Amino acid sequence: MAESEPTEQVHQTMDCIGLYCPMPVLKTRERMDEIAVGEILEVLADDPAAEPDIRAWAKRAGQKILKIEKTSEGFRFLIRRAK
């Protein structure tokens, strides 16, 4: 993490480790509908397709991906509900 990078407050975490396409993106979409605009959802996934799927969904849905990190288990996404 860069020194100037602000830390984002995660409001909810969703563990999609072990789930495969299309489940991580479907569960992300469902959970985003449950949180308030401006809140941040952390999604953990190990499906290699999760990165392009969640990127494409966020663009279509108008949601803001704040960060995508590669972790030892897979990926960590921070997504802010924009609308």
Residues known to be catalytic: 21
| CA 53-23-59 angle, 5° bins | 30
Do residues 68 and 51 touch, judged by C-beta distance below 8 A?
yes
